[in-house]
Amino acid sequence: MRWSKTEKRFKGTWEDRLDGIFSAGVDYTGKSVLDVGCNMGVVAYEISKLRPSSIHGIDVLRSHIETARMIFLGSPVESRFDCLNLGSQKLGRVLRPRYDIVMLLAIYHHMQASIGQKKARGVLADIVRRTQTVVARVPPRKDRELIELLSGEGFSVKGTHVSPLGSHVIVLERY
């Protein structure tokens, strides 16, 4: 997995994006999942094969949300996909009060770039207060920052995985 400094977006295949998500020791079966920055719903769809109770995806691009909704047509898993900027005041009304698992896959650094570091920290804190388990993917050398931030919200690292191409998958649970 390569991270482009100039284009500021993930560069890799879907296999790269999935690397470590299923081997990190998280049981998705029967759980409610929030996928923050869900892109086109491909990761959520792969998680749906493990039969979570529900999947809620949020992304800023309408075309991504429309694709995610199409992918989930006919899926037995309850799903909802919302087009929303994470800096929006609507976020609190769109999110459920509780999720079993929150997915933060290569999204926090985008939040910082689009809404600023201070607001990104506040939004992230609001999101993770709704869960007991966070599965995060971060670019190389960004794992410590996210771990410190989430430890301040009562989380500790349960497991980690470093992809052959460099990104880190971190599983954190509330202690």
Q: Is the residue at 132 inside a domain? A: yes
Q: What is the per-residue pLDDT for 149?
A: 94
Give the C-alpha distances (Å, rounded to integers) separating 112 from 77, 118, 121, 146: 32, 8, 8, 12
Q: What is the per-residue pLDDT for 4?
A: 46
The low-confidence residues of the chain, meaning pLDDT below 50, are: 1-10
Q: Is the residue at 1 inside a domain? A: no
Predicted model pTM:
0.90
Q: Which domain holds residue 116?
A: 108-175
| Neighbour-count burial for 3-15, b at 16+ CB within 10 Å, e otherwise | beeeeeebebeee
Q: Is the residue at 77 inside a domain? A: no
Q: Is the residue at 46 inside a domain? A: no
Contact by Cβ (8 Å): 73, 92 = no
Q: What is the per-residue pLDDT for 9?
A: 47
Q: What is the per-residue pLDDT for 71?
A: 97
Q: Is the residue at 38 inside a domain? A: no
Q: What is the per-residue pLDDT for 173?
A: 98
Q: Is the residue at 2 inside a domain? A: no
Q: Is the residue at 59 inside a domain? A: no
The pLDDT tens digits of the residues spanning 49-70 come to 999 999 999 999 999 999 999 9
Q: What is the per-residue pLDDT for 136?
A: 96
CB atoms within 10 A of CB 65: 21
